Structure formats: structure tokens, C-alpha cells
Amino acid sequence: MALFVKTLKLYQLRSRQKRGVCVRWLHIALAASLLFSPLVYAQNTPLISGGVGFFTSTNGGNTTYIPAISPLIQAPITKRLQVESRAYLLDAFFPNGKGYDTSHFVALTYLQASYFANPHVTVVGGLFLSPFGTYTERLSPIWISNFQDAPLIVPIGTGTGAGLGGMLRGNAYSNGKVSIDYTAYFSARSANQQFNASRSTGFRVNAYLPKPRLEMGVSYGRLLQGTNANAVGFHVWWLPPNTAFKMRSEYAHTTHVQGYWFETDYRLSRFGGTESIVGRLEPVFRMQQTFRNAPDATDGLSAQNTQRADFGLDYYLPHNVRINTSYSRQFSASGNRNIWQTGIVYRFLFPAWRGK
């Protein structure tokens, strides 16, 4: 929970700086999309999607309750241009001994315009999810992540999770056997907490082998002022075909700290199919460690070496509802703790307006 609240504060900090500008952008973007979208083909109706959920997190016997919603809009504007945005709204109710304190939190997670310049280059501008590693871009939506808490190493290379500036990305090369893609960004006022609102730049390159469903990637991030710290990361994902097994892993290193996580999940669909009572179950496991080699209060990671094992059991109900439960045991010199978490999330997806 401490981690959660910390992340919350970081987001709040960032969103306070940016909300004014962003909200104005959002209005312009939405107005533009509403004006132009009907001109594009029927299958390009803007979509509204996201997740709405209710979470609990029990740490040291104290339970925090968190209702949350994270809506997303994706609006094609012309054949090549589109606007994408996601927000996050939550209330946290935590015990204060007498009753509950609440904290309210609203932020724009990202708001970007993407332009398909050519088959290999997409130009992105705005507030975008930090492309370092895999978690932030891919697994952070509440309807996707298997665990409520983000991995411990997420701040490395991503800071608060978003950059403000431009990004070039695309597929460099692909045939039936391999697909190589890249992402390179420049952020003017970096959300990277470690480098504290500085300019930063970075890239990621992935190679995906679609037959064995194996992906490997390298990420790099650099601060362009102050300490000029570098962050480097590697990830390996393996989702063997014809199995319900998935393995995802990441390692990241920066000046004073490094760490890894790996996560496995296995939907029990062999027992009667994905829609049977047992087949809807998905045990998940995540293992994480961080190693500190020098104190650094700015990198967002614990001051002590930390080990953590997360054991989860997710259950997929019909109609895009999922229940997540998990138990985590965390070991560090500052004390060992148990964290119990539960959540129920509904994933929604529909056209922004009714069809004829």
C-alpha cells in the first residue's frame, strides 16, 4: 500500500502540473474528433473503453478500499491521424484509527496524437506512456494487470510513467518469422521521477518471434540534465503457442539500484475449456528482487534490498468481469510484511455513439 500511495502522490504531483494544459488539449482533441470522425469509414467510429473496479489492500492489518475507474477514448480523425487518451479516477478510503480518511485522485494518464507517417514510422506527440520496459505501456491498465501493485522496479527508466514530448515508433522489419519494432522518444519535462522533471530521451527495441511467441527487448533511458543518469532494461516474454501458460520478465538497472521481476500465469482452461468453472481460474505468480548499491532517495525504489513473492488467483467471470486476489510476502532489512489484495474489475468497450 505504501508503494501504492507513493505512486499516487507522484501521479498527483505530475497531474497538478499538467492538468491545466491537458484538459484544454483534451477538449480540443475531443471536439476535433467529434467534428471529423463521422467523415471516416464506418469501422472507424471512435471507441470508449477501459476498466472500472473495486479494490482492497490489506497491509499490516489495515485495509484500504479503492473504487476506481479508468476510461479510455480512441478517436480516428483522418486516415492517418488519431487521438488516444486515458484517465484514472479513484478514491482511497484508509483507516485512521477512528474511522476512514479518504483521498481523491484524478489524472490524465496519457493524451497523445498519433500519425501514421509511413508503414514504418508513426509519429506521436503529447503526453505518452513511458516506453521503457513493458509494464507501463502494456500491463498497467486495471483490466490487464494480474496484480494490483506494479512491480517494484517500474520507476527505473519510467519515473512517474509518462513523458511529455514526441515519440517515433513503428515496425522496422517483419516477415512471418520475426518482427522487429522500435520506439524512440524525447521528453521535454520528463515525468521521470528519478531525474525529477528533467528533459530525457530513450528508446526501446524489441524482437518478436511469432511462431514460438517469444519476445526479447532492450530499453534505454537517459536524463539530459543534472546527473545525466542512464537506465538500461531487458525483457523476455514467452507465451508458448497452444498452451495457456505465459511468462513475462523484466530486468532494469540504473545508477544506484537494479532489480527484476518475472511473472507466470496459467489459465486452467484445459479443465473443461475457458468457460468451465475450473477453466475460469488463473493462478499467477510473480517474483521480484531489487538490489541497492548506493543510497538514492530520488529513484523511487526502496532504500533497502527487497525481495517479494506475489501469489495470485484470478477468476474470469462472464461478461468481461474478473476477480483478482493475491497474497504477497515482502522481505527487506526494514521489516518483512504480508500484503493481501482483492479486486473486481469490469472491462468495457463500446462505440462512442450509436450506429444507424
Q: By CB under 8 A, is residue 117 in contact with another protein?
A: no
Identify the residue among 138, 213, 256, 337 touching ligand HEC (CB under 6 A): 138
Q: By CB under 6 A, is residue 86 in contact with ligand HEC?
A: yes
Binding part of the chain for another protein, among 62-70, 92-100, 138-146, 335-343 by CB under 8 A, reads 138-146
Q: Which does 215 bind (CB under 5 to 8 A by kind): another protein, ligand HEC, none?
A: another protein
Contact status, residue 323 vs residue 315, Cβ threshold 8 Å: yes
Q: By CB under 6 A, is residue 246 in contact with ligand HEC?
A: no
Catalogue the long-range contacts made by 331-339 (C-beta closer than 8 Å, 24 or more residues apart). 331/306, 331/307, 332/302, 332/304, 332/305, 332/306, 332/307, 333/304, 333/305, 334/302, 334/303, 334/304, 337/59, 337/60, 338/59, 338/60, 339/1, 339/57, 339/58, 339/59, 339/149
Identify the residue among 6, 91, 270, 317 touching another protein (CB under 8 A): 270
Please return the burial class of 5, using the count of CB atoms within 10 Å of its CB with bins 0-12, 13-18 and 19+. Answer: middle
Identify the residue among 78, 293, 320, 334 touching another protein (CB under 8 A): 320
Q: Closest CB to another protein among 237 and 251?
A: 237
**Cα distance between residue 268 and residue 246, in whole Å:** 12
Q: By CB under 8 A, is residue 239 in contact with another protein?
A: yes
Please return the burial class of 344, using the count of CB atoms within 10 Å of its CB with bins 0-12, 13-18 and 19+. Answer: middle
Closest CB 299 distance from ligand HEC, rounded Å: 25
Q: By CB under 6 A, is residue 49 in contact with ligand HEC?
A: yes
- Cell (9 digits) for 39: 467523415
Local structure of residue 116 (DSSP, 8 states): E
What is the per-residue DSSP string for 41-79? -GGG--EEEEEEEEEEEEETTEEEEEEEEEEEEEEE-SS
Q: Which does 298 bind (CB under 5 to 8 A by kind): another protein, ligand HEC, none?
A: none
Closest CB 142 distance from ligand HEC, rounded Å: 9
- Cell (9 digits) for 349: 468497450
What number of other Cβ atoms are within 10 A of residue 352's Cβ? 16
Q: By CB under 8 A, is residue 304 in contact with another protein?
A: no
What x-and-dash track marks residues 55-84 binding ligand HEC by CB under 6 A?
A: -----------------x-x----------
Cell match 488539449: residue?
A: 25
Identify the residue among 7, 132, 156, 181 touching another protein (CB under 8 A): 181
Q: Who's near 28: CB < 8 A, 6+ residues apart?
A: none
- Cell (9 digits) for 288: 521480484
Q: Which does 42 bind (CB under 5 to 8 A by kind): another protein, ligand HEC, none?
A: another protein
Q: By CB under 6 A, is residue 53 in contact with ligand HEC?
A: no
Binding site for another protein (CB under 8 A): 40-47, 74-76, 82, 84, 114, 116, 119, 122, 124, 137-139, 141, 143-144, 169-171, 174, 179, 181-183, 206, 210-211, 213, 215, 237, 239-245, 247, 264, 266-267, 269-275, 279, 285, 287, 289, 307, 309, 316, 320, 331, 349-351, 355
Binding site for ligand HEC (CB under 6 A): 47, 49, 72, 74, 86, 138, 141, 144, 349
